[in-house]
Every structure is written in structure tokens, then in C-alpha cells.
């Protein structure tokens, strides 16, 4: 009888663990995020803003193809999975009590000429973290949109700054032209 009770207890415990693991493997809702923006700027100006943004953030570039409009970064470390900063940037699938390490992100930028002075930029992120507790495997995570919004916003700021500088130069040249005409006696 004691043997049977011990076996039943083990079965119950194993069933509880199994149900907990299955519940932890429920599907993860992938956030609907903004991955692309269209800028009122030419392709070259936008491309330069993308490259400058990636360089300023010290993102290691794996591939850069201006002709095709593609810039790909190598994998980069993300903050600790237990941190608030990580939770604001990434949604990971629930794996019960899984402990994750070494979260990484890789970004691909796709720059497309829409018109002479309109260019779109799309940022695609690939996020993963290693589960060393249960599965011993890498698992895909999903961006909350914070990474993409930060990159697209920085690109837009660079384009706005460049546009402001161009307008300032035009105004300076117009002013110089007016002074030149005024000084010539015309």
C-alpha cells in the first residue's frame, strides 16, 4: 500500500509539473508595432542618416549594401532579462520558470526610394535569449516596438536637422545674393 501511495504521489507531482510546463508554453502574443516610416528626403540623405544612426549607437555592421538599400547589424547584447529596461523592449514566450541569459538583437534596415524626395526605412529586429534552466535552447523573442521607434526617431531627427541646415544655407545664400545686388548699385 505504501508503495502504491508513493507511486501515486510521484504521478501527481509529475502531472502538476507537466501542466505547469504546458501552461508556460502558451502562445505569445506578438505585438503589432511600427517597423517602417516614410521620410520626405531623398535616398542618399536618408541612407546617410541610417548609417550615422547605426554608427552613433555603436552597432556592429555585418553587411552594408547601399545599392540595394540594406544594412544589417551583427548580434548585439540586450540588457539583463530580469531588468525593467529589457521588459520594455522585448516580449519573450512564457516558459514557466525558465531562466534566460545572453539576450541578443540583430537589426536589418531596408531603405527604399519611394519618389525623388520620399524614402521609406524599415527596421526588422531578430531577438533571442538562451534558456539555460529547462530547454537548454535559444528562444525567439519579439520587440515591443521600442527598439524600432528609437531607431526610426533618431533617423528622422537627423533628417530634420539636415533639412534645417540646408534651409539655413539657402537663406544665407539668398541674403548674400541680396547684399551683392545692393552693393552693386542695382
Domains (ranges, CATH) in the chain? 30-167 (3.30.530.50)
Q: How is residue 122 written as a grid cell?
A: 524599415
Residue 182 phi, psi dihedral angles, 5° rounding: -70, -35
Rounded to an integer, what distance in angstroms lies between the CA atom of residue 46 and that of residue 111?
8
User: Which pLDDT score, from 0 to 100, does residue 140 have?
Assistant: 87
- Write down the mean pLDDT value for the chain: 79
Contacts of 34 (CB under 8 A, 6+ apart): 145, 148, 149, 152
| Tens-digit pLDDT profile for residues 69-113 | 999 999 999 888 778 888 899 887 765 545 567 789 999 999 999
CB 125 within 8 A of CB 106: yes
Q: Which is nearest to 107 in space by CA: 93, 92, 119, 89?
A: 89
Does residue 174 surpass a pLDDT of 70?
no
> Which range (25-29, 50-54, 147-151) has the least confidence?
25-29
CB 105 within 8 A of CB 60: no
Q: How is residue 137 written as a grid cell?
A: 535552447
Q: Which is nearest to 75 in space by CA: 122, 35, 127?
A: 127
Residue 26 phi, psi dihedral angles, 5° rounding: -60, 155
User: How large is the average pLDDT for residues 38-64?
Assistant: 96
Split at pLDDT 50, 70, 90, the class of 170 is very low
Classified as helix, coil or strand, 19 is helix
Q: How is residue 116 written as a grid cell?
A: 525623388
Instruction: Identify the sign of the CA torsion 37, 43, 46, 47.
Output: positive
**Residue 41 DSSP code:** S
Q: How is residue 30 written as a grid cell?
A: 506578438
Strands 100-115 and 90-91: unpaired
Does residue 13 surpass a pLDDT of 90?
no
Strand segments (E) across 74-176: 76-77, 90-91, 100-115, 118-131, 137-143
Q: Which is nearest to 158 in space by CA: 38, 42, 50?
A: 50
Amino acid at each position: 500500500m505504501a508503495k502504491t501511495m508513493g507511486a501515486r504521489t510521484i504521478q501527481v507531482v509529475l502531472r502538476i509539473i507537466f501542466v505547469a510546463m504546458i501552461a508556460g508554453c502558451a502562445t505569445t502574443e506578438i505585438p503589432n508595432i511600427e517597423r517602417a516610416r516614410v521620410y520626405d528626403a531623398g535616398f542618399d540623405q536618408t541612407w546617410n542618416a541610417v548609417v550615422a544612426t547605426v554608427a552613433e549607437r555603436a552597432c556592429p555592421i555585418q553587411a552594408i549594401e547601399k545599392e540595394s538599400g540594406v544594412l544589417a547589424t551583427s548580434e548585439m547584447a540586450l540588457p539583463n532579462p530580469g531588468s525593467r529596461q529589457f521588459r520594455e523592449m522585448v516580449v519573450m514566450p512564457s516558459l514557466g520558470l525558465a531562466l534566460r541569459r545572453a539576450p541578443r538583437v540583430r537589426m536589418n534596415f531596408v531603405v527604399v526610394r519611394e519618389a525623388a524626395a520620399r524614402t521609406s526605412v524599415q527596421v526588422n529586429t531578430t531577438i533571442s535569449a538562451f534558456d539555460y534552466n529547462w530547454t537548454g535552447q535559444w528562444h525567439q523573442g519579439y520587440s515591443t516596438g521600442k527598439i524600432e521607434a528609437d531607431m526610426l526617431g533618431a533617423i528622422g531627427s537627423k533628417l530634420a536637422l539636415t533639412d534645417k541646415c540646408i534651409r539655413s544655407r539657402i537663406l544665407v545664400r539668398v541674403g548674400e545674393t541680396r547684399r551683392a545686388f545692393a552693393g552693386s548699385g542695382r
